[in-house]
Structure 1
Amino acid sequence: MHDPAFPAYVPFATEPLGLMGSLRAARTNLLSILPELAVRQPMVSGRTGIRWHMVMEPGAIRRILLENVNNYPKSKATKNILRPAIGDSLFIAEDAHWRWQRRTAAPVFSHRNVQSLGPIMIAAAQRSADRIAASNGRAVDLMEEMVRTTFDVISDVTFSGEGSFDSDAVHRSIDAYIAAAGKVSILDMLGVPDWVPRPSRFTSGPVVAQMKQVADQAIVERRKRGASAVPDLLDMLLSGQDPETKRKMNTAELRDNLLTFIVAGHETTALTLAWSTYLCAFAPEVQDKARAEIADVTGGGPVKTEHVGDLSYLRMIVDEALRLYPPAGILSRTAKESDVLCGRDIHPGDTVMLPVYALHRHHDLWKNPNAFDPERFADRKAVDRYAYLPFGDGPRICIGASFAIQEAVLILATLLQRFRFDLVAGRPPEPVMILTLRPDTGVWLTATPV
């Protein structure tokens, strides 16, 4: 049991788990493989079939993500899990194949384009508030509600709400795929070559095929119909081209990136919002202060896109939620060539992990690290850039980070303007990570109109 003075957390392992113990832990909750040493030392190394290193020292992390980034591609295990579903999209691709896709997609997430999507985000938040109001004081699972809300946003942003794309079916397919294939295989932990099939992933083939067929059909139909009067994400991807090579994405490349954006574009923000509402209920004084700021900024009127920059305390809550519960709790890389990190030799083929969950709770980097304290982010410049990685960093920083932050602030502001959220006794959320860090039992809160 964790200390009730702190919001929900996963205790760190105090004893070595061994190969089979690590496998069992990784298949139920990846966070449980993280040792207590990971929040007290700059680097922890070991061998579980393959050599591995957990790196928590900001300077070494900077080397991995920025200075020597080409030496640390995404791990083979990560690619084994995701490639069948999203191909060689931006999330997985490396080197030149990644660079041209990034250049092609970057304009889609420009500041101007993201700002223009604010009204869609606010409209989805208002629909969510109406659904919550209909609960009439009964407990509501804010995780489920935020998944629905952010999926509304990504569907409208991607397909202009035209209804020709069954985004719910795609989401269900992705979830089914992760459930079947997303868990770590003992073959990955033993370092068995990629060409050896992972049995758990055979069962997911029909699910993936159906998901891709739906996306391909949407792309073909849009090509026939042409762009909307106000271009949506699919329109912009269809018209986009690499400014250097003039290359455009073919249907398979469009589909793989579209599926990546649909899943990542709502999953991470839904998690951030669910954890943020939980934290506001956990600390009522924080919630009251946020509500007062919203009233001051909006003058009692509706939340608008232009308010985002003035809701500084609300942004601090979002930042602190991302510190305590980073959606990507562990980043994994595979070293291509020899290197040295924290004075320790890295060999080709070694797995190099950035345990973001541990980094964000490291005792040398954060004061009272398990506590919920939004004021840590009152001066963002005082936070070491490589001690805080909710979206990664370096050239592969999440392309949709500004989209996610704006969406989280606008939706949270809309909800807090209308409700006071309170915890439900006996129903705490349980942080569990398989691919993302989710509240496994939901986030159950009561919502009282204010």
Structure 2
Amino acid sequence: MTEMRAVTEAPLPVRVPLVTQPMGLWGSLQASRRNVLSIIPDLATRQPMVSGKTGKRWHMVMDPGANRRILLENLDNYPKSIVTKNLLRPAIGESMFIAEGANWRWQRRTAAPVFSHRNVMNLAPVMSAAAERSVARVTQAGPRAVDFLAEMVTTTFDVISDVTFSGGEGFDRDGVHKAIDAYIAEAGKISLFDILGMPDWVPRPGRTFFAGGVKEMKRVADEAIEARKARGHEGVPDLLDLLLAGEDPESKRQMNVGELRDNLLTFIVAGHETTALTLAWSLYLLAFDPVVQERARDEVRGVVQGRVATGEDVAKLPFIRRIVDEALRLYPPAGMVSRTAQGPDELCGREIRRGDTVILPFYALHRNKLLWEEPDAFRPDRWGGQRPDRYAYLPFGDGPRICIGASFAIQEAVIILATLLANLRFTPVKGKAPEPVMILTLRPQGGVWLEATPV
């Protein structure tokens, strides 16, 4: 795509004010604890790469070719950074999200068949049922403003808990949900200890307070796994069944209880939080642009015709998919990730040294003026023609470590969004515009408050 130089006159959806002046180490730390994205320089939306030194050398990369090298061609040179691992390891252990090398490969090979198209389609009825319950909750509440961030978190947690522990054998959903939310709220607040790369055993303020909740969450998950192993499960296999039956095709190794638990908790944390955010931002954008909303509703009505959307409907709803893609472009749930270079390299003609932090700010990549026309505008039709370079759009990452549940998340988002549009009309609540803030994920701070009326 080429840069469009004309200024868009239409109002733009909410965005993060990016940095125009150097901040220094202390300023960057303070800003990152409020909103990680606020440390991105505005220059990152106008150049392919920005470098600097804030305690240690860092590089922000917005170039598709360099992204391809980091995520695919020279993958082993760019493992997840120490900061990322320190933030997430207390909750999800050495699951495939954190593991590196051989430990990652065997887990990925074991879990990959779980998310085959057939298995994801078999789980679609769970998504449809959760969408129907969401419509019922909103409708029964009557004509009032609803925080659709909270509603979508509830809906997607319904889905992930049903497809993970569908039997519910002793699985305390509310307890696990609260523990996850509490940990995410504190875990993503970057500590100075993380910046300095200090080991996990050095206590982090805030995170230590919620350690008991995380420990209890793991205990509950362990008990549910043991119960399933002892009793088995009837009906459509859920994620736990599929993982219990899975084995690495090369080594024939199977996951033990701890490995199953860490990976299931990874799916639960990532599987409901990121999809809930995608849906909340999509609804905000649809309320922001009523013309797009009506067009989307017309498409849904032509397919769903009074029913709840199903897995079979997803392929027949291309405009709904475009809305989801555009929401993921403007507000990628993982707005920024970082890697630590293990050896020398070159990106965009610049020297990369061992130990350098290499940052992929997806938020800036998706709004880079060299790659996108009117990058801050909500334009779902940009997805109707030629798609951008694969490494210019990375809501799920890419390469061998691309999000294993991407197809699951897209199917879920389209089913839920279509069902909501078939039944409800959304209008903004004045004075309640959300603020995009990234702690661990890019959330609409203050919620997504919308009036929802039956159609």
TM-score, with structure 2 as normaliser: 0.95
Identify the residue that residue 162 of structure 1 maps to in structure 2. Answer: 168
Separation in 1, partners of 2:65, 2:10 = 34
Separation in 2, partners of 1:139, 1:205 = 35
Q: Identical aligned pairs, as a percentage?
A: 65
Identify the residue that residue 226 of structure 1 maps to in structure 2. Answer: 232
2:392 is the counterpart of 1:387: yes
Aligned to 1:175, what secondary structure does the other structure show? helix
Identify the residue that residue 439 of structure 1 maps to in structure 2. Answer: 444
Identify the residue that residue 143 of structure 1 maps to in structure 2. Answer: 149
Correspondence for 1:81 among 73, 78, 87: 87
Contact 2:435–2:444 (Cα < 8 Å) also in 1: yes
2:327 is the counterpart of 1:315: no
Identify the residue that residue 39 of structure 1 maps to in structure 2. Answer: 45
Contact 2:148–2:447 (Cα < 8 Å) also in 1: yes
Gapped regions of structure 2 (runs ≥ 5):
1-8
What does 1:417-428 align with in structure 2 at a 5 Å threshold?
Answer: 417-428=422-433
Correspondence for 2:62 among 56, 62, 71: 56
2:179 is the counterpart of 1:173: yes
Range moving further from structure 2, 163-172 or 349-358: 163-172
Aligned to 2:333, what secondary structure does the other structure show? coil
Identify the residue that residue 415 of structure 1 maps to in structure 2. Answer: 420
Identify the residue that residue 243 of structure 1 maps to in structure 2. Answer: 249
What does 1:4-403 align with in structure 2 at a 5 Å threshold?
Answer: 5-162=11-168, 164-189=170-195, 191-194=196-199, 197-200=202-205, 201-379=207-385, 381-403=386-408
Contact 1:109–1:400 (Cα < 8 Å) also in 2: yes
Identify the residue that residue 4 of structure 2 maps to in structure 1. Answer: none
Aligned-pair distance for 1:163? 5.3
Aligned-pair distance for 1:168? 2.4
Aligned-pair distance for 1:235? 1.1
Identify the residue that residue 3 of structure 2 maps to in structure 1. Answer: none
Aligned-pair distance for 1:186? 1.4
Contact 1:212–1:255 (Cα < 8 Å) also in 2: yes
Range moving further from structure 2, 105-114 or 223-232: 223-232
Separation in 2, partners of 1:225, 1:284 = 51
Gapped regions of structure 1 (runs ≥ 5):
none
Contact 2:185–2:439 (Cα < 8 Å) also in 1: no
Aligned-pair distance for 1:196? 6.9
Q: Let me know the Cα RMSD of the aligned residues.
A: 1.4
Aligned to 2:271, what secondary structure does the other structure show? helix
Q: Deviations over 1:47-89 (max 9, x none)?
A: 1111110000100000000000010000000001111111110
Aligned-pair distance for 1:327? 0.2
TM-score, with structure 1 as normaliser: 0.96
Separation in 2, partners of 1:81, 1:306 = 38
Aligned to 1:202, what secondary structure does the other structure show? coil
Separation in 2, partners of 1:135, 1:202 = 38
**Match for 1:175: what amino acid?**
D
CA gap 1:270/1:433 in 2 versus in 1, 3 angstroms:
same
Separation in 1, partners of 2:116, 2:237 = 14
Aligned-pair distance for 1:228? 2.5
